Structure 1
């Protein structure tokens, strides 16, 4: 599957990216049926509608998906990011990427 170019976001950026394909990294906090709850790098909560066959095997995940009007994400694909990931540093990178998009 070929994925479109995506911008990296945190929970505060969801409202401005409705309908867009985005790249989101967060800490998995729970799942119920096909909905996963994540803690975002900016400490917000993000709900992800998991794709069929999604394999969430680690504490931190990267999700590529489309942002819905309710600020949830429909997952297209996901990547396990391990059990140790510095969300605070990642959030600083996201903020810099918004200011200097040509670098990222």
Structure 2
């Protein structure tokens, strides 16, 4: 399946929240959030920092979990185009995850590049 520029092999994607997503326009990132609403072509996520992001979905993607991880390309500071989604279940602690995102973007950024 062609993911239109999605990373392959051992490539890593920076973990972002809404606050940091805008710095990655045009790049592939990992974004975790709670599903607020979804339709066949779009999903609205509340990110780990409590903000709203729009996801342009792949056809047939399963959003049957409260919390999901989306790997995709950042189109602008509000929108990500999904390449792949992973269900994280209904009991995922977004507050703790956001602390991890903040550390991965600052003090320990060198470990995630």
Q: Which of 13, 16, 27 is equivalent to 1:20?
A: 27
Gaps of 5+ in 1: none
Name the count of aligned residue pairs: 104
CA RMSD of aligned residues (A): 1.5
Matched ranges for 1:1-104 at <5 A: 2=8, 4-69=11-76, 71-99=78-106, 100-104=108-112
Q: CA–CA distance in 2 between the matches of 1:50 and 1:80?
A: 14
What TM-score, normalized by structure 2, do the two folds share?
0.85
Structure 1: 4+ residue segments shifted above 2 A: 1-4
Gaps of 5+ in 2: 2-7
